[in-house]
Structure formats: structure tokens, C-alpha cells
Structure 1
Amino acid sequence: MRQVFEQRPTATTRGLVDPAAARGGFALVRLDPAPDLADLVERHWVVRWDLPPGAEFTQVVIPHPNANVVAEVDGFAVHGIPGGLFSRTLRGSGAVLGTKLRPGALRVLLGAPDVLRPGLVAPAAAALSGTRGPTAHDVESAGRRAVDAARAGGDTAAVAAVTPVLRAAAAGRRTPRSALALDRVARVLGAVVAGELGPDAGVADLADLVGTTPRSLQRLFADWVGVSPKWVLQRHRVHLAADLVAADPGRPLAEVAAAVGYYDQAHLSADFARALGTPPAAYARRCAASRAALAAALDPAARPAPGAADLVAAGRA
């Protein structure tokens, strides 16, 4: 029988800006949710870091259409989809436990569409507790125990600490309507991530997947996810493009654009710059510098290209 908590290494860096630099800043581990929460929880994650005195590392993330419930030393909070890029500066040593919710699950757990506003951050004790859920004290205690376990290296224990409060919150708030909505959203998102419809798929193609109209699909996403189907498609293409550039910074950008479904490089550059705040050519140079710096750190005989350290420092600022 498969264990409830199956620890495994990170399967993808999609969404991490400059993944080569990230390898020098922190370690990331992902864990499966309890089976009875799999409709609401995509996975749990633990970020752990140990930096030299006086050093700091800033990681930037291109958000997915997911909310997260995050337990850290400063508190236990629910984070909606960020309005823009998400960044966090790490110093000293520590660990964080996060729970990545499936698209639409935040609406289920919090119970109203107004919780989907961009950039929402709310105390988990207030958001998850209630007459049909766990008490605020239970939620706060779970967050503290999760952080303590993560800092001690007990990843599965950290997940075990938050699972009961998530289960209790979900038990009182799932409905047949929410189950149907999440199923349809999951079908659409799964098709996008798996590339079922090809790189040039549009909103109408996504609507056909669940037997509805583009307008109805737009309403579904507005009511349950907080972003539009078009946003999901564009963001997925930017994630793919960023992955391809990071893996091979020298790859021609016109080739990258075609591979992820853009008709030309100009449209890729516009969406890429809008999402990351930097054009793909500049991002390629940054990733090349970080890869060289990482190679030098792993192999003292390797030498980064001239100016690489300056580029990495500028990219982290």
C-alpha cells in the first residue's frame, strides 16, 4: 500500500525564476497530500535554507493559478494568487511548509468568490476556522508545530501537523456544486499542463473539453479560480518558455516561441516581459551567468564567463 506521505525530490523548476541560482539559495522538497484531500491539495512543499552570516538570497516566482497555505516562523497564512511576481528574501537559516491548493480549492475552503481577489493574504486561523471547521486555536497550533517539524528536518511530520485542520475545514465546506466546479477546472488545467490540445490551443478549445461555451468557461474561472482561461494559457506558455531558456540560454528565441505556441518572437517577448518584468533575451543572459556560477561552485576548476558574478548579483537585487 502506498504511504500517505510520499517524499520525493522536486520534479520540475517551472515557475522558479533563474533555477540555477535557486539551487545555491535553498532546497525544495515536495510531498503528496493525504488521499482524501487530493481534490483540494495538489501537494505540500518544504523550503529549507542555511545561508552564511550576512548573506541573503532573493527568489522570484512566476505564479501559477494556485493559492497556498504557508506556515513559517512569522505566522500561518493563506496566500491567494499574487497580483504580479512573488518574491521572498531569505537570510540566516530556516524552513517553511507550504500547501499548494488546486485551482478553485481556495474558494471551497473560504466559501465566497471575494476571497479570489489578487494578492490576498489572510491569517489561516481566521480563514480556515469556523462553526463547521477547526477552531482558530487548532489552526494556529498546527502552524507552529508544522514550522518546528520542518526546521528540525521532519517533513512528513510537518505535513501531518497541518493535515487535520485542512481536513476539518474541507469537511464542512465541500458541496456537490463545488465538486463539479473543481472537476471541470481540473480537467481544463490538466489538459493545458499536459499539452493535450497542442501549443496553439485557445479558450474555445478548452471550453470544448468540458462541453461548455467560452463565455461559460470564463464565468467558471472567474467564480472559482480568480483568473481567466486566457491568463492560464498565456501563463503556461511563459512558464514553458522560461524553462526552455533556463535549460539552454543559447537557444534561438524564435525557436522557443514556436515551441511554446507563439506565432512569432515578438508576441513571446511581450508576454514574457509582462510576466517577468524582463525580456527573454535579458533573462537568457542572466540564466547563462547563473549556470556558469553554479558550475564554478560545484567544480572549482570551472570558471564563469567574464562578468558573470556581476550579472548574478544584479539579477538577485
Structure 2
Amino acid sequence: MFEPRVSADARVAPRHGPTTSLRGLVDPAAARRGFELVRVDPAPDLADLVERHWVVRWDLPPGESFTQVLVPHPVANVVAEAAGYVAHGIPPGLFERTLTGSGAVVGTKLRPGAFRVLLGHADAVRPGVQVPAAAFLGPTAERTGAAALALAVAGRDEEAACGVEPLLRARAERVRDARTARDLDRVARAFAALVAGELGPGAGVADLAAVVGTSARSLQRIFAAYVGVSPKWALQRHRVHLAADLLAADPDQDLAALASAVGYYDQAHLGTDFARATGSTPGAYARRCAASRDALVGAGATAHPG
């Protein structure tokens, strides 16, 4: 059931490349049996602040539930669901959501640091913060979120995404300035380097700062002010995302070789970071993904990590 797709309307301006990967779903083969995920590109004039819009839909048999676990990226999501329209900052740990019955959720995944700019307050970088969208998008936000959700339920994903953009655009026009643009460009450059694989195995914060063209201390200050995590955390989280994705694609691979491939000096350090981020050792995660893959193939679907 999980078949991620992207809008055919490729509206992102070329100068704004990816700053987060598509990774993060724990056990993606199992996710394919639980829900459908659709990703929609933002309008070009919002691409400095918005990574992508997304829609999740599910339709489960009576009495059946599905729990999806995410290893979060260091970004905020502005989410419209039945309970309301709310911005969610970086979760302090794993994000878990149990789905039952049928329904949909529509969200906007902001770029790293963008929530700090849009909210205009340091609360944006507080772990686990939740802010009503109306607090920074204005009094019509709840109505707009509800309308977007109705479109998502109807399968009109591009319309749902476009429906929230006028509020984001109006807010962006009020809060953008030269300083925040410069700082967000530096944050975006750092994350884009991670996603593009520009850093070699064992790279550290100084290497990441060199790619950005600043000092390690300056990069740490910018991350603290805008993102809410350190550059070291971002490096570790990217490596865990990559390791989890590779294990989902090939659960039988050698873990020592995997550790080296994603930038660790040894398997032990990968195991420590992986368990801290996912709640599971790499070996246990591989076995879980193998079991889900086998179950998916047995059900007649083609297993892939999405």
C-alpha cells in the first residue's frame, strides 16, 4: 500500500536542492502495508523555507492497527489533521503514530532552520515544541488546514499542498530579511552537503564547516540558533538514516562493512548511534526488515524501501 510518489509538477527552483533525505521511515517494507505516502514539491518562491509537502492516507480493516515509527530529521512539520493544524518541532526521540480505521494527514516539511524564521521566536528550536499554526500563520490557519485535509482525504494532493501555500507565503514575506537569508543559506549548504554525500568517511564538524565556508564555531552557533541541534548531531543522524536505509534494502549485508560505508571507524560506534536513534541495534533492525520484506513478498507485492 505504501507507494510514495511526487507531484509531476516539478516546481522547486534548481538553486534550492534537497536539504533532507527521503529516509527516516523505520521498517519501510512494513510501512507499505500500512499507509500511502505522497510527496509534493513546493512553489519556487517558498523553496528556501519548504522542503516538501506530504500527504499520508490509510484505510485499515476493522479492528486492525498499524504503528509507524520515524527517525526524525532536524526539521519542523506543519501538520493538518482531524485534531487541528499544528507545527511540530524536532521530536526529542523517535516519533511514533498508530493508525486505525481510515483517514489522512497533510503536512509541510520545512527546511532546517526555517521554523525559527517563520515563528520568529527561540521556542522554535525547543525539542518537542508544538505551536498552533494560527500563532504564526494567522487567524485563518485552522480553516485553511481543515480545507487542505478535506482535499487530501479526497485524493487531491496537489490541491491540498497548494491550499496552505498562501499563508506560508504571506508569513515569509513578513519575516524574511538579509541576515536570516544568509544564515539559512549556510544551514542549507551544510545539510545539502550531507544529503549529496560530499563528505568522506569519518568527516567531522570542521569538514562540514569547510564545505559551508565558515568556521566550526560559527557553524555551531548558527545551528544552535536556527536548527536546535549541533552539527555533530546532524552528521550522526544522517549516518544512521543512511545505515537504516541500506539495511532495509539489504538486511543480509555485513555490518562491519556497512559501518565503514556510512562513515564510522568501526561497527561499535555505528551500533551505539543506531541504537540511540532507533531504539534497536543494527542487527535487530536488519532482522525486522527481513521479516517485513518476506511478508510483503509473500503477499504478492514488490518490496523496496520507498
Contact 1:78 1:127 survives alignment (8 Å): no
Among residues 276, 291, 294, which one is paired with 2:293 in the alignment? 291
1:280 aligns with 2:282: yes
Q: Distance in 1 between matches of 2:136 and 2:127?
A: 16
1:127 Cα deviation (Å)? 3.1
Distance in 1 between residues matched to 2:39 and 2:66, nearest whole Å: 21
Q: Secondary structure at the match of 2:91?
A: coil
**How far did residue 210 of structure 1 move?**
2.4
Q: Which one-letter code corresponds to 2:34 in the other structure?
A: G
1:104 alignment counterpart: 113
1:183-235 CA-to-partner distances (Å, cap 9, x unmatched) read: 00011110011111213211001111222211111000000111100000000
| 1:198 and 2:200 are equivalent in the alignment | yes
- Give the whole-Å Cα distance in 2 for the aligned partners of 1:211 and 1:4: 30
Q: Is the Cα–Cα contact under 8 Å of residues 116 and 225 in structure 1 kept in the other structure? A: yes
The question of 1:20 aligning with 2:22 is answered: no
Q: Give the match's secondary structure for 1:119.
A: coil
Partner of 1:82: 91
Structure 1 equivalent of residue 221 of structure 2: 219
For normalisation by structure 2, the TM-score amounts to 0.91
Q: 1:125-180 deviations in whole A, cap 9, x for unaligned?
A: 12322xxxxxx1x1111101000000011101101210111111111111111100
Shift of 1:49: 0.6
Give runs of aligned pairs for residues 239-254 of structure 1, distance below 5 A: 239-254=241-256
Cα distance in 2, alignment partners of residues 241 and 156 from structure 1? 32
Measure the CA separation in 1 of the matches of 2:300 and 2:75.
Answer: 34
Residues paired across the two proteins, number: 287
Q: 2: distance between equivalents of 1:192 and 1:115?
A: 23
Cα shift at 1:5: 5.7
Q: What RMSD over aligned residues (CA atoms) do the two structures have, in Å?
A: 1.5
1:143 matched residue in structure 2? 145
The AA in structure 1 aligned to 2:156 is G
1 CA distance for matches of 2:235 and 2:210? Answer: 15
- 1:71 is paired with a residue whose SS is strand
- State the partner residue of 2:174: 172
Extract unaligned runs of 5+ from structure 1. 130-135, 300-317
Whether the aligned pair in 1 keeps the contact of 2:21 and 2:195 (CA below 8 Å) is no
> What is the deviation of 1:12?
7.1
- Bigger relative contact order (CA 8 A; separation at least 6): 2
User: Residues of 2 paired with 1:149 and 1:241: CA distance?
Assistant: 36
- Corresponding residue number in structure 1 for 2:190: 188
> Using the alignment, how far apart are the partners of 1:128 and 1:184 within structure 2?
25
* Equivalent pair of 1:78/1:124 in contact (CA under 8 Å): yes
CA distance in 1 between partners of 2:117 and 2:34 (Å): 34
The structure 1 segments of at least 4 consecutive aligned residues displaced by more than 6 Å after TM superposition are: none
User: What percent identity do the matched residue pairs reach?
Assistant: 67
SS at match of 1:81: coil
**Mapped partners of 1:17, 1:111: distance in 2:** 32
